Amino acid sequence: MPTHNENRARPGKPGAGDDNREGLVRLQRFLADAGVASRRHSELLIREGRVKVNGQRVHELPIFITPGEDRIQVDGTVIEGPERLVYIMLNKPSKTLTTVEDEPGAARRTVLDLVDHPSGVRLYPVGRLDYDTRGMLLLTNDGALANQLTHPRYGVEKTYHAVVKGYLAEEALEQLEKGIYLAERREGHTVGAVRASHVKLRIVRRDRERTILEITLKEGRNRQVRRMLAAVGCPVKKLERVAMGPVKLKGLAVGEWRELSRVEVQRLRQAVDKGGKKPGNAAKKKAKTTTKTTKTMTKKPRRTREGGR
């Protein structure tokens, strides 16, 4: 079952850890984000007694409120703040579609059928998990972060546990580490083969009956893990995502969900920032800048007079 915070307006100094609790924001920040005034001017409005929280006039700072739950008024006018950003971790079961809704006429279960958030905000899956794949799936209404977590440029790692039948040989592991060529399809047609980028591998368990392999990759191509293992003769029996970046699947039974903590959201943002600042990305940006500079410098110089004629 999901966990919910029942925070109310908190005048004065927050208690231990209150400022870091998910969902709480400073009142002046809420007013600034809602377009009432700048943060500094919003502080002045509060000190002048022109702001009410749940019908109570407030004067002193700091004050922490929960957007979407607390009722905020300025000079008697109710302030509707920006939609609260929600971050959900779902332990997706197999036989569940990672989509907002199924195709017309079909009635398969989707991930949104499992998540009933009390705020009523419209959530979207971050990336995809195959219909038969289970494990960690993030859902959010933060489109910017969702795009960054799935865009190859940022290189956020996704970690899976794959169960394959039998003993996975060292030769197969070497092939996976070198990179498997996978067919590239566009508009339903095969247009060639593209080599999968480097993956990290770790044997969790291996015996004659089965092998449990941990695979960490930065790409997100269609059914990539299953296709890679099938290419080395080891079709996947079960597949589970156990982590995205630094955030791991924990504390959830299959089919359950919870909100991410503020610390977990911060760690995801840090992973995105780290990926965006990698030397390779910086070098590409620098190369573009250098090219522009070179073109500018190669323009025909103006003639200057050196002495008289």
Q: How many domains does the chain have?
A: 3
Give the model's pLDDT for residue 119: 81
Mean pLDDT of 5-9: 38
Residues 162 and 240 in one domain: yes
In-domain check, residue 297:
no
In-domain check, residue 5:
no
Residues 93 and 222 in one domain: no
Residues 195 and 217 in one domain: yes
Out of 75, 102, 116, 130, which one is annotated catalytic? 130
Cα Rg of the chain (Å, integer): 26
Domain end among 50, 78, 106: 78
CA-to-CA separations, 38 to 11, 54, 84, in angstroms, rounded? 20, 22, 19
Check pLDDT > 50 for residue 6: no
Torsion of CA 36, 38, 43, 49, to 10 degrees: -30
In-domain check, residue 125:
yes
Check pLDDT > 90 for residue 80: no
| Phi/psi at 133 (5° precision) | -90, 140
Residues 92 and 28 in one domain: no
In-domain check, residue 106:
yes
CATH (domain of 141): 3.30.70.580
130 is catalytic: yes
pTM reported for the whole predicted model: 0.68
Average pLDDT in the chain: 81
Check pLDDT > 60 for residue 123: yes
- Residue identified by tokens 């407030």 is 58
CATH (domain of 36): 3.10.290.10
Residues 30 and 49 in one domain: yes
Residues 40 and 183 in one domain: no
Residues 121 and 240 in one domain: no
Residues 166 and 236 in one domain: yes
| H helices present in 10-94, as ranges | 27-33, 39-47
In-domain check, residue 301:
no
Residues 66 and 133 in one domain: no
Residues 130 and 262 in one domain: yes
Taking only the tens place, the pLDDT of each residue in 171-225 is 888 888 887 777 666 655 555 566 666 789 999 999 989 999 999 998 767 788 8
Residues 161 and 270 in one domain: no
Residues 149 and 251 in one domain: yes
In-domain check, residue 150:
yes
- Residue identified by tokens 């299959």 is 254
Give the model's pLDDT for residue 204: 94
- Residue 264 near residue 247 (C-beta atoms within 8 A): yes
Spatial separation of the C-alpha atoms in residues 290 and 151, rounded to whole Å? 25
Tokens representing 258 are: 């919870």
Domain limits at 52?
10-78
Taking only the tens place, the pLDDT of each residue in 36-58 is 999 999 999 999 999 999 999 99
In-domain check, residue 299:
no
Check pLDDT > 50 for residue 18: no
CATH (domain of 162): 3.30.70.1560
Domain end among 227, 244, 261: 244
In-domain check, residue 289:
no
Check pLDDT > 70 for residue 85: yes
